[in-house]
């Protein structure tokens, strides 16, 4: 219930901002939300006990949302709702913020031929590991993408028309110091010379 109310509030705030922007753009006077609501269809002498903000948010916006939810509930039975809720949990938007293992398990129970009691326990463990791995991947992907872009950028300078026949091993040896300049900047020439001198002769 709290989650539904939170989504309503988010929807109300965005709608209110759009309406206010529209009114300002077309020079339409904005109502004073703190004033008592005046119903034009009733006597002006009758004072209401709620504000204009309460009227538009609760009596209009919330009521329409509730009607829409009721319409959806009337069109979809419990099984269909469980299926839709389970599928919605796999939405990757906002780093899988809608991911809910219990709802996915409820969806899996709709397919008893594929998920017996043992497979349900296996699925639950897999889902726990899945969301952990996905979140780790989401955190690492921007870094990995940036590293790949730097590597391709470096390749254009190192393997040019004059040096296009170098073997992969030599190319790797050239690209790593070029890409990781900050690391190799702290390594002295003497240290590099000593390292190569310490290697066995080929």
Domain chopping of the chain, boundaries: 1-75, 135-197
pLDDT of 183 strictly over 80: no
pLDDT of 161 strictly over 70: no
How far is Cα 78 from Cα 53, in angstroms, rounded to an integer? 35
Which range is least confidently modeled, 68-77, 131-140, 188-197?
A: 131-140
Two tokens at 121? 């326990």
**Per-residue pLDDT tens digits for 124-148:** 999 888 888 777 666 665 555 555 5
How far is Cα 131 from Cα 45, in angstroms, rounded to an integer? 60
pLDDT at 69: 81
């Amino acid at each position: 219930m709290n989650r539904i109310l939170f989504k309503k509030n988010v929807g109300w705030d965005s709608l209110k901002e759009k309406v206010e922007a529209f009114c300002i753009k077309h020079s339409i006077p904005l109502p004073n939300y703190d004033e008592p609501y005046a119903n034009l269809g009733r006597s002006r002498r009758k004072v209401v006990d709620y504000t204009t903000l309460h009227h538009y948010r609760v009596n209009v916006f919330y009521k329409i949302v509730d009607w829409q939810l009721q319409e959806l509930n009337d069109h979809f039975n419990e099984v269909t709702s469980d299926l839709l809720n389970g599928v919605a949990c796999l939405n990757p938007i906002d780093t899988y913020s809608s991911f809910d293992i219990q709802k996915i398990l409820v969806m899996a129970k709709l397919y008893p031929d594929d998920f017996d009691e043992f497979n349900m326990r296996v699925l639950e463990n897999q889902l726990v590991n899945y969301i952990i791995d996905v979140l780790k991947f989401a955190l690492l992907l921007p870094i990995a993408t940036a590293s790949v872009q730097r590597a391709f950028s470096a390749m254009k300078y190192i393997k040019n028309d004059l040096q296009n026949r170098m073997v992969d091993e030599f190319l790797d040896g050239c690209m790593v110091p070029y890409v990781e300049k900050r690391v190799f900047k702290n390594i002295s020439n003497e240290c590099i010379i000593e390292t190569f001198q310490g290697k066995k002769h080929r």
